[in-house]
Chain A
Amino acid sequence: MGTVKLGENMVIKEEVIKKACSMAMDAHKSPEKQYLSKKIKTSSSEVVFSFPGSWSVNDWFTGTSFGETKVDLQLFPSLKYIGLDVTATVNEAFLNEFKALLANPLFKNEVGKAAADRRQIVFTGHSSGGAIAILATIWFLEVHIRQSSNRIAPLCLTFGSPLVGDSIINLALRRENWSSYFVNFVMRCDILPQISLSPLSSIKQQLQQVLDYFNQKAQQPPNEAPAFYETVVKNASSVANYAACKIMGSTNPLLETISSFIELSPYRPLGTCVFCTGNGKLVVSNNPDAVLQVLYHASQLSTEEANTKMTVAQTSLRDHLSYGNDLQEYLRMSVVTCLHQHHPEALPLSLNVANAERERVDEALNDLGLSERARLCIHAAEALEKQRLRNQATIDEKQKDIKKCLDKLEAYKRKCALKVGYYDAFKRSEEKEDFHANVERYELAGIWDEIIEMLKRNELPGEFEGRKEWIDLGTRYRRIVEPLDIANYYRHLMNENTGPYMEKGRPRRYRCTQRWREHAERLPHEVPGSCFWAEVEELCIKTGFQGIKESISHLNTKVKTWIKDEELGDDVLLENSTFMKLQKQHS
């Protein structure tokens, strides 16, 4: 039985791809059904779910310029940049379509049963059906994989799918280790995957004609095909060129100015992308930055092609319909080039040095129509990913320093527990040790702020936020050091400058590490024990307010759980601590 090797750890059975592709095309034929499902063979363990595409513009774009909306975190709790609390963006029309599918109890039951029977589920779709398949797969991962460990991982195969969401979705998939389940096939000339990079206003009219053609209402591609092609590629070039400048680290301030004048599409590729060159070769990349560059550059025209724009534009539409027929041929030949496995140095710019392997890669890239400029962009995308790994290694090194500081502060905490508790001791800061503790606090803040900055600038690999060692270290850090930050805040009366700690003063390094833990352990988002002292301080200020006694006793019950969960040390209950004084005052 044939398999297709799409990279080091990715091997897919040929028959799965074939079956998925044919079912994806079949789904269009019965648009009244929300999905089709079938086993690959009666005996096999895989079940394929395929979704039909839609041929109405309203099912592709809604209201705003790119038809984007924030993802529904109830439905997709993982689709966010956790530490920075940024929710992912998706195409609203596709999201609505998926929600309608989910409202169908038959679908949920059937998927649930297949999962319970420990079958591998393959979600698939062609065109906008692919977008639904992607959302369905993410939903399945959230519901069935994240919450129970004994399920078989799904697979998502799309064919000529438009882009579904922004770069945060891809980050989230990588963090959860789900990224490799998504494989998107794209024909070299197929223009559809790029249309998400255009604002609706620029293509609306032509798009409906194009969709009508796909829906077989017209025999020939519409006459506007060349104009449509040009508009779509132009918009793609804006996005890709801007991204390339960023990737290459261009520091020209003009870029920033321009970005406030032109709104660019938020959509980015996700998972693995498999490009079909047009003559039997497959080129694979799992780097979304590189995929974006290939999408655009593969649509550029050589001098000969420029003279036959009509033909090119028609092919760009016809290719969208050719997956069913052509893909088999590609699978049979199985000539695969993986962009991400190559050292950028091995990715040839030109053929100055003779080398059989490089010749083969070069040929595949030529067949995809990638110019030297395109190759430089892909190089840069690969180099950036490597830089992210190096950055991660650098901060991994700092774990030692963090631990050393934390050990010192724990010793400080133990020592203070003999008298009044480290919160109050630090707040008074009368001894030399308090000063030293402050220095440790500063040092740690420096390291953590640096990590946060790197996250903000997207300089760490997507997997970083899912790493247990960092989540645990972050939790330990937050529990020990945040009380000191609170003590410092109220010692310097910053609450009177800026407002209460919880609302105005809480540093991002604590909010971020708290969210990491909450996401990893699937806890609700609430005020953590490390902020206990801020609550105490606010209650001290509110002395005499109505209901203060209730607030104190409420806090008291919380304290007990926090101490039990090790969120808080029992030194808060020392006789002379601010908390005990507060209690006495109101008892």
Chain B
Amino acid sequence: MNMFMQISTLVKTSKSVIFTGHSIGGTTASLAALWLLSYLQSNFENLSVLCITYGSPLLGNETLSRAILRERWGGKFCHVVSKYDLMPRILFAPLDTIGPHIKLLLKFWHLYMTSPHCGPLDVQRNEEFMAEIFQFVLSHLRGLVEAGEEAVTGMFRPFGNYLFCSGDGAICVDNAAAVIKMMYLLLKTGSPSCSIEDHLKYGDYVGRISSQFLEKKSFMLGELPESRYEAGVALALQSLGISSQEPVAGPAGDCLQAARRMGRTPNLNCANLAIKLSKINPYRAEIEWYKAWCDRSDDQMGYYDSFKQRGASKRVSKVNMNRHKLARFWDNVINLFESNQLPHDFQRHRKWVYASHFYKLLVEPLDIAEYYRAGMHRSKGNYINHGRERRYQIFDRWWKGRNVRDEDNRRSTFASLTQDTCFWAKVEEARGLLDDVRSTRDQRHSALLWEKIDFFARHAKKLVEAKEVSIDVVAKNSSYSLWLIDYNEMKLQMLQFRPQFPSFMNGEIVP
């Protein structure tokens, strides 16, 4: 609670927060950062957060690692890991077998940090134990690397960026599989004693790296590959203190190449999407055109009901096809977004926030119509909780996340699209509720149902009065208009027969 108070004042007074910690403190720092990021996200607040850990043990499993990728928080974590340090690797071995070793190790590190002079003595005394734990971790890491992607379930898994540092520099890797492989390859070149001492040397490493900007490093003549890409990899390995003659250089180079993000860069992807968007916009235009036609047509059913009760016409099947095409496009956008292939602030680009929002306003009513037309609500449950596509929830979040305060504009005529995109699902549910009321004999149950129905009726009334709905909602034969007639009738009946009914107090008839 205390920390919570402290942080919430911090959020108001500062622009950025850095969490940091060494060893197990690193995991605490990570957790604190994760907590703050979640807090900021749910409160729509903006603050720069960075978490730097030094020699931190692993924190979570693959689910955590994925979640962090999905939330695009990977860039907020920088785990500094020295070339041989055992601590960040130790949890790759199963805990039940290395438990006693860890206890001893922690004791040693603790002793060393509080009184560094008696450290080396301890090392000698425990040489055998050191070799044992080193081999143990190394063999588990090897197993993990050899098993490849399949082996990761249920195990600890890295997340965020790993900055591997050596006396010669540092490299940054953010692909979890590559991190594991680098951990293995680097540890392989080390020895039991240095793997334990390295945990305490972060001060030296960081000091050396931060003075590197002055050093010009050169290669032996002819050592650098001619291709620029390979030269870049060789330079990276040089930073890890691995020369191209060492046997580990080959696999480490392969690992770095594989870690290179596949596909095009985020900016190119984004530009490409913009082109695709302009290509699919005509489909959207066609649906708009269809909506205008429905709203004008003589049967006065409106957009939603016309589509729900559609017959087999060429035009309407074209609209339905467009609906699918648009869904495919937007699902692809979300897919790219969540796999980190789009710019980090994609969800704040005005263009995309607006485009996704208008797509949602236009097409979600059709999705709802299709859902209830096909009777899916009977098999899967109501639309809002069980049938709503995830993309719409994400677009809701993007729309709320834009830094614009909703101004209180009064509408003079009905909005061109209903602003509450789930409105029709609510109508469908309310209709179901009215049916339930008819069939129930239980008074208490009936009162409960009425409460829900009245809630919706008030909500709908408010929307209609504020003209936040499109004209199709109030069309003479729309589901809503028909429901309203039904509702008012039943309400009247109920009030006549049961004047003692509690909701009489605030019972009003929606015109």
Q: Which A residues have a C-beta under 8 Å from some C-beta of B?
A: 230, 233-234, 237, 241, 249, 251-258, 260-261, 297, 299-303, 306, 344, 349-353, 369, 371-373, 376, 379, 429, 435, 438-439, 442-443, 445-447, 449-450, 453-454, 457, 459, 491-493, 496-499
Tell me the chain B residues, 10-25 only, with Cβ under 8 Å from chain A: 16, 18
| A252-B172, A261-B50 known; A306-B228 Cβ under 8 A | no
Residue among B219, B265, B277 making CB contact with A350, cutoff 8 Å: B219
Is the beta-carbon distance between A261 and B48 smaller than 8 angstroms?
Answer: yes
Of B217, B221, B223, B412, the contact of A371 (CB 8 Å cutoff):
B217
A443 to B217, CA, bound (A): 52
Residue in contact with A379 in the complex, picked from B214, B228, B265, CB distance below 8 Å = B228
Does B340 contact A443, Cβ atoms closer than 8 Å?
no
Task: Evaluate whether A300 and B215 lie within 8 angstroms (CB atoms) in the complex, with A254-B172, A350-B223 already known.
Answer: yes
Q: Which residues of B contact A299 (CB under 8 A)?
A: 214
Q: Is the CB of A302 within 8 A of B216?
A: yes
**Closest chain B residue, CB of each to CB of A429:** B292
CB pair B75–A254 under 8 Å, yes or no, is yes
Knowing A261-B50, A350-B221, A376-B231, the reply to whether A457 touches B278 (Cβ < 8 A) is no
Contacts of B279 in A (CB 8 A): 446
Inside 8 A of B277's CB, which chain A residues have their CB?
A: 446
Contacts of A459 in B (CB 8 A): 267
In contact, B48 and A257 (Cβ under 8 angstroms): yes
Interface membership of B344, Cβ < 8 A: yes
Find chain B residues with CB under 8 A from A351 CB: 221-222
B70 at the interface (CB under 8 A from A): no
In the assembled complex, the Cα of A573 lies from the Cα of B464 at a distance in Å of: 38
B275 on the interface (CB 8 Å rule)?
Answer: yes
| Chain A proximity of B230: nearest CB distance (Å) | 10
Task: Select A372's contact among B49, B224, B275, beta carbons within 8 Å.
Answer: B224
Q: Please report the C-alpha to C-alpha distance between residue A49 and residue B155 in the assembled complex, in whole angstroms.
A: 72
Total A-B Cβ pairs within 8 A: 152
Nearest CB of A to B241, in Å: 16
- Select from chain B the residue with minimum beta-carbon distance to A302: B216
- Rounded to whole angstroms, the CA-CA distance of A260 and B75 in the bound complex is 12
With a CB–CB cut-off of 8 A, which chain A residues contact B48? 257, 260-261
In the A-B complex, the 4 residue pairs with the closest CB atoms: A446-B278, A253-B75, A237-B213, A300-B216
Instruction: Report the minimum CB–CB distance from B386 to chain A (whole Å).
Output: 30
Q: With the chains together, A273 CA to B224 CA distance in Å? A: 28
B337 to chain A, nearest CB (A): 13
Q: Give CA–CA (A573, B265) in the complex, Å.
A: 51
Contacts of B226 in A (CB 8 A): 349-350, 352-353
The SS class assigned to the A binding surface is helix
* Nearest chain B CB to A252 CB, angstrom units: 6
Besides A454-B271, A491-B416, 5 new A-B residue pairs in contact (Cβ under 8 A), listed by A number: A253-B75, A352-B222, A372-B235, A439-B285, A442-B281
B317 within 8 A of A: no
Cross-interface CB contact of B409 among A241, A303, A442, A497, cutoff 8 Å = A497
- B75-A233 in contact (CB<8A): no
Q: List 13 interface pairs A-B (beta carbons < 8 Å), by A numbering.
A: A241-B213, A252-B172, A300-B213, A353-B226, A372-B235, A376-B232, A438-B288, A445-B278, A449-B274, A453-B271, A492-B416, A492-B417, A496-B410
* Nearest chain A CB to B282 CB, angstrom units: 4
Query: Is B452 engaged at the interface, CB distance under 8 Å to the other chain?
Result: no
> Pick the contact of A496 from B174, B223, B412 — CB < 8 Å?
B412
Question: A257 to chain B: closest CB distance in Å?
Answer: 5
Specify which chain B residues have a CB less than 8 angstroms from the CB of A371 in the assembled complex: 216-218
Q: A376-B231, A442-B278 are in contact. Are A435 and B286 (CB under 8 A)?
A: yes
Given contacts A261-B48, A372-B231, contact A254 B78 (CB under 8 A): yes
B411 at the interface (CB under 8 A from A): yes
Is B351 close to A, CB under 8 A? yes
User: Given A301-B215, A372-B224, A373-B235 in contact, is the A442-B413 Cβ separation under 8 Å?
Assistant: no
* A453 B274 Cβ-Cβ under 8 A: yes
Could you tell me if B218 and A450 are in contact, using CB atoms closer than 8 angstroms?
Answer: no
- Please, which residues of chain B bring their CB within 8 A of the CB of A241? 213
Known contacts A253-B74, A257-B50, A435-B285; is-contact A373 B217 (Cβ 8 Å): yes
Assess whether B504 is interfacial by the CB under 8 Å rule.
no
Minimum Cβ distance to chain A for residue B387 (Å): 27
A253-B224 in contact (CB<8A): no
Q: How far apart are the CA atoms of A35 and B508 in the complex, in Å?
A: 86
Which of the four size classes fits the interface of chain B? 35 or more
Cα–Cα distance between A449 and B276 once the two chains are bound (Å):
12
Bound-state Cα–Cα, A256 to B345, Å:
10
Instruction: Judge whether B214 and A300 touch: CB under 8 Å.
Output: yes
Q: Does B30 contact A (CB under 8 A)?
A: no
A261 x B161 contact (CB < 8 A): no
State in angstroms the CA–CA spacing of A302 and B412 once bound together. Answer: 74
Which residues of chain A are near B219, meaning CB under 8 Å? 350, 372
Contact B261–A251 (Cβ < 8 Å) = yes
**How far is A49 from B66 in the complex, measured between Cα atoms in Å?**
64
| A306 in contact with B76 given A256-B344, A449-B278 (CB within 8 Å) | no
**Chain B residues numbered 245-266 whose CB sits less than 8 Å from any CB in chain A:** 261, 265-266
Find out whether the CB atom of B266 lies under 8 angstroms from the CB atom of A251. Answer: yes
| B75 and A350 contacting across the interface, CB-CB below 8 Å | no
* Contact of B282 with A442 in the complex, beta carbons under 8 Å: yes
Give chain B residues whose Cβ lies under 8 Å from the Cβ of A457.
Answer: 267
- Contact A429 B50, CB 8 Å, known A376-B228, A449-B278, A453-B274: no
The residues of B that contact A352 with a CB separation of less than 8 Å are 222, 224, 226
**Bound form: Cα–Cα A258–B216 in Å:** 24
Question: Which chain A residues lie closer than 8 Å to B215 at the CB level?
Answer: 300-301, 303, 306
Residue of B nearest to A296 (CB): B213
**What residues on A are CB-neighbors of B412 within 8 Å?**
493, 496
Q: Is the CB of A261 within 8 A of B16?
A: yes
Distance, CA A435 to CA B293, complexed state (A): 12
Looking at the assembled complex, report how far the CB atom of B409 sits from the nearest CB atom of chain A, in whole angstroms: 5
The listed residue (B231, B275, B278, B416) touching A493 by CB distance below 8 A is: B416
> Which of chain B's residues have a CB closer than 8 A to the CB of A251?
261, 265-266
Say whether B289 faces chain A, with CB atoms less than 8 Å apart: yes
Q: Tell me, in angstroms, the Cα distance from A237 to B214 when the chains sit together.
A: 9
Q: Does B278 contact A260, Cβ atoms closer than 8 Å?
A: no
Chain A's closest residue to B49 (CB) is A257
B150 lies within 8 A of chain A by Cβ: no
**Distance in Å from the Cβ of A267 to the closest Cβ of chain B?**
18
In the bound assembly, the distance between CA atoms of A393 and B284 in angstroms comes to 30
Chain B residues lying within 8 Å of A237, measured Cβ to Cβ, are: 213
Q: B269 — nearest CB in chain A belongs to which residue?
A: A251
**What separation, in Å, do the CA atoms of A251 and B412 have in the docked complex?**
47
CB of B188 closer than 8 Å to a CB of A = no
Residue of B nearest to A241 (CB): B213
Cβ distance B84 to chain A, nearest Cβ, rounded Å: 23
* Chain A CB within 10 A, most for which of B174, B235, B278: B278
Cross-interface CB contact of A446 among B72, B275, B286, cutoff 8 Å: B275
Q: In whole angstroms, how far apart are the Cα atoms of A258 and B48 in the complex?
A: 9
Contact A435 B289 (CB under 8 A): yes
Contacts of A234 on B, CB cut-off 8 Å?
213-214
The interface residues of chain A lying within 8 Å CB-to-CB of B288 are 438
Task: Determine the distance from Cα of A351 to Cα of B220 in the docked complex, in whole angstroms.
Answer: 11
List chain B residues, Cβ under 8 A from A429: 289, 292
With A306-B214, A372-B231 already in contact, the answer to whether A256 and B75 are too (CB < 8 A) is yes
The reply to whether the CB of B495 lies closer than 8 angstroms to some CB of chain A is: no
CB-defined contacts of A446 to chain B, threshold 8 Å: 274-275, 277-279, 281
With A429-B292, A493-B415 given, is the CB distance from A257 to B278 under 8 Å?
A: no
In the complex, what distance in Å separates the CA atom of A260 from the CA atom of B16? 8
Residues of B within 8 A of A492 (CB): 416-417
- Within the complex, the shortest CB–CB distance from B400 to chain A, in Å, comes to 15
CB of B298 within 8 Å of the partner chain: no
B407 contacts partner chain A, Cβ-Cβ < 8 Å: yes
B261: chain A residues within 8 A (beta carbon):
251
CB distance from B404 to the nearest CB of A (A): 9
**What is the bound-complex CA distance between A371 and B218, given in angstroms?**
6
If A372-B235, A376-B232 touch, whether A496 touches B289 (CB-CB below 8 Å) is no
